[in-house]
Structure 1
C-alpha cells in the first residue's frame, strides 16, 4: 500500500480540497439517482492508498470530475481482476463550444441544461474550458475569436449560478465567470482595443467582488494597469498596480506580489520616475525570491516567474534609457521563457531589437527584429506586438535614416506587417 500521487496531483491541479472532492463525487452520484455517501475520510483513503480500487459508481464519478480514467488517477484493480473496458473516454463526454478563426479554435465548455442543482463538478468543467483558452492565448495571443469564446464561457457560468447547490458553489461560479470575463479583457488588451477592454474589466471586477476572490481581483487590477499604460495614463497605471499590491492574495503569496510590483515599475518608468521604477523592480525581485513553486495557482499565472520579470526589467530599463541593461535583461529573458509562450518570446525579441538599436547596433537590431515574424510563424500579430514593432520602426528611422539596412528592413516588412494584421 502506498500513497496515490496521481490522485493527489489531479486534486492539486483542480484546486480542490478533500472535502470539495467528496462533494463533487456526491454531486455526480446524486445526479444519476444514487445516494451520495462519499466523505472526506473516503477521499483520504483514496489518497493514502488504503482504498486502491473504489466502488464502480465512485470510479465513474471520479472519472467524470477529473476527465481522466481510473488508471490515470492512480487506481489499480485487485490482482487477477481486470479493469473494465472503457466504451468512451471521459474527455470525449464533454461538450464544447468552439469559436474558430482560420485554423485556430478556442474552446469553452457548453453545459447542457440539467434538472439538478449545479455543484462542484460543473465548476470543474467550466474551469477546463478556461484552461483551454489560456493555453491558446499563450501560443497565439489575443484575438476576437478568443474574446468571444471567453464571453460565452462567462455567460454560461452566470446562467449556471442561478441553480447553484449552495452559496459556496455560487461564489465559485462567480469566480469562474470573473476569470472568463478577465480573459476576454486580456484578449482586448493584447489586441490594444482599450475601450472594449475597459468594459470587460469593470464587469470582471464586479464579478470578482461577488465571488470574494482576491486572485481574480488582482488579475483585473493588473490588466487595468496595462490598459492605462496603453492609453498613456501613467498615473492611473501606477494606481491600478498599487491596487493589485493591496489585494489579499498579494499579501499572502509573494509571486502575486512580485507581479504587482513589476507592473508598478512599468508605470513609474513610463512616467519618468526613475527612482520609483527601480525601487519597484527591487521589490518585485525580492518578492519573487520568496515565492514557493509548489503552491497551487491558476493556469493563467504560469506565464509569470523569473523569465517574465526579466522581460519586464528590459521594458523598464528601455524606458529609463538604460539600453545596455535592457539588452542584457532581454537576452536572459529569452534564454528562460518557455517555448510554448510564443507570443511572449516574440515580444521579448522585439524588445531586444529596440535595446540593440538604441546602442546604434543597427545591423544586429534589424536581424533580431526579423526573428519576430519567424517566431509567430505567419499568424496574425497581436496589437501589443505590432505596437512594439512600430516603436522599433520609428526609432530605426529616427536613429538611422540614411543607413541602407534600415531602409531595406522597413521596405521589406511594411507589406508583411500589413498582411499580418
Structure 2
C-alpha cells in the first residue's frame, strides 16, 4: 500500500490542511446536489493509499477543488491491467514530479505566497535598520500590487486569502514607512486600504497593526483624542483575545494617547494592563515579522514616553535605560529613538550637559543613513526644550551649532 504523494503535494501547494480539504470537498458536493460524505477518515485513506479510486462524485469534487483530473492527483482506476499500464505510462511521460501537472500551469500556490512573504520580511528588516523612506514605501506598494495581481490565478480560496493578507501587510508597511518618514498626507489613504484588505482577508493581526499606525499618525498630528480611539479599536481586534502580546501593544499605545492628553489615571491604568498582558505572552509563539519589534524593550521605551509626558522624568530615564539594555541589536532605528527619549528625560531633570551628550549619540547610531522624519522631529523637540530650559547654557548653543545641520537636512 503506497502513500499518495501526488495528493499530498497538491494539498501542500494549495495550502489545505486535511480538515480544510474535507470542508472544501463537502461544499463542492453540496453545491452539486449531493450529500457531503467526505470525512477525515476518507482523506486519510486516500493519503495512505488504502483507498485508491474515490467514488465518481468524490472524484468530481476533487477535480473541482484542485483544478486537475483525479489521475493527476495520484488516484489509480481499478479497471483492468491495460488501463492501469496506460495511466502509468502517461504519468511517466509527464515526469515523475510530485506536484500538480500541466493543467495547473500558471496557478499561484503556497510556494508563491512564501516567496512574497520572504520579500516582505526583507522590507521589515530594512525598516528596523534604517527606518521609513521613499524606496521602502515604493517597494512595499509594489509588493501589495503583485499580491493582488495574482488573485485570479490562486490555486485555492485559502491561497487567495493569504494573498489578500499579504497585500494588507505590504500596504501597512508602506503606510508605516510614510509615518516614520513624516509624509503624513499619503499615510491616510494607505492605512484605509490596508484596513480594507485586512478585513477582507480576516486578518486581525494586520488589522491591529493598522490601528496601531493610525494611533501613531494621530499622535504626530496632535489629535490625541483620535489616538486614544485608535488604541481602543486595536484592543477590540480578534488577535488580542488569542495572543496577549498583541493585547499588550494595544494597551500600551492607548496609554501613550492618554498621557498626551494629560490623563494620568487612564494612562497608568492602560500601561498597567500592557505590562500584565506582556507577562502572559508566550515568547515562542509564531507571529508575523512586523510584530518582532514589540517585547519588553519596546514596552520600556513606551513607558518612558508615558512617564515623561506625565511629569515623571526620573522614572522615564530609568525606563529608557531598561529599553536600551533589552533592545536586540538589529533594531538600530528603535535604539536611536530610545536614546533620544533618554536625552529628553535627562533634560527634563535639568541635566542639560548630560542630555546633550546623550542626544549627540543619536547621530552616531544612525551614521551612514539619513534620519527618518519622525526622528528628525524628535531631535527638533529636544533642541526646542533645550533652548527653553537652558537658554543661556553654553552647551545648548554648542549643541545647536554642531548638530542643527544634521537633523534639519538629513
Which residues of 2 match residues 287-306 of structure 1 at below 5 A? 287-306=277-296
Shift of 1:21: 13
Name 2:365's counterpart in structure 1: 375
Asked whether the 8 Å contact 2:343–2:355 carries over to 1, the reply is yes
| Change beyond 3 A, Cα 1:20–1:327 | farther
Shift of residue 378 of structure 1?
Answer: 3.0
SS at match of 2:330: coil
The answer for the alignment partner of 1:338 in structure 2 is 328
The one-character-per-residue Cα deviations of 1:240-270 (angstroms, maximum 9, x if unpaired) are 1111100000111000000000000000000
Matched, 1:280 2:265: no
Which residue of the other structure, out of 167, 173, 176, is the alignment partner of 1:177? 167
TM-score by length of 1: 0.74
Give the alignment partner of residue 253 of structure 1, picking from 243, 246, 261: 243
Please say if residues 161 and 170 of structure 1, whose CA atoms lie closer than 8 Å, have aligned partners that are also in contact.
yes
Q: CA deviation at 1:17?
A: 8.1
My pick for the range that moved more, 145-154 or 117-126, is: 117-126
Q: Deviations over 1:181-201 (max 9, x none)?
A: 000000011011222111100
Whether 1:397 aligns to 2:397 is no
Gaps of 5+ in 1: 1-15, 23-28, 39-54, 62-113
Contact 2:16/2:158, CA 8 A, preserved across alignment:
no
1:70-219 map, 5 Å: 115-219=105-209
C-alpha contact 1:20 1:120 (8 A) present in aligned 2 = no
The whole-number CA distance in structure 2 between the counterparts of 1:239 and 1:340 is 32
- Give per-residue Cα distances to partners, 1:99-146, cap 9 Å, x unaligned: xxxxxxxxxxxxxxx952222111111111100100000000000000
- Which gives a bigger RCO, structure 1 or 2 (Cα 8 Å, sep 6+)? 2
> 2:96 and 2:126 mapped to 1: Cα distance?
35
**How many residues get paired?**
332
- Gap change, CA 1:272 and 1:17, over 3 Å in 2: farther
Contact 2:380 2:407 in 1 (8 A): no
Give 1:18 deviation, angstroms.
Answer: 6.0
Gaps of 5+ in 2: 1-14, 22-65, 76-94
- Report the alpha carbon displacement of residue 351 of structure 1 after superposing the two structures with TM: 0.2
Q: Distance in 2 between matches of 1:261 and 1:399?
A: 32
In the TM superposition, residue 165 of structure 1 has moved relative to its aligned partner by 1.8
Contact 1:188 1:196 in 2 (8 A): yes
Contact 2:379 2:407 in 1 (8 A): no
Does the CA contact (< 8 Å) of 1:30 and 1:36 recur in 2?
Answer: no
**Superposed displacement of residue 236, structure 1:** 0.7
Counterpart Cα distance in 2 of 1:167 and 1:195: 35
Q: Which residue of 2 aligns with 1:43?
A: none
Superposition RMSD on alpha carbons, in Å?
2.7
Cα distance per residue 1:290-333 (max 9 Å; x no partner):
00012100111110000000000001111111100000000010
Distance in 2 (CA, whole Å) between partners of 1:236 and 1:117 is 43
How far the C-alpha of 1:416 sits from its partner, in A, is: 2.2
Structure (1/2) with the larger helix percentage: 2
> Which deviations, in whole Å up to 9, do the C-alpha atoms of 1:210-249 show, x marking residues without a partner?
1011111111111011101111111111111111100000
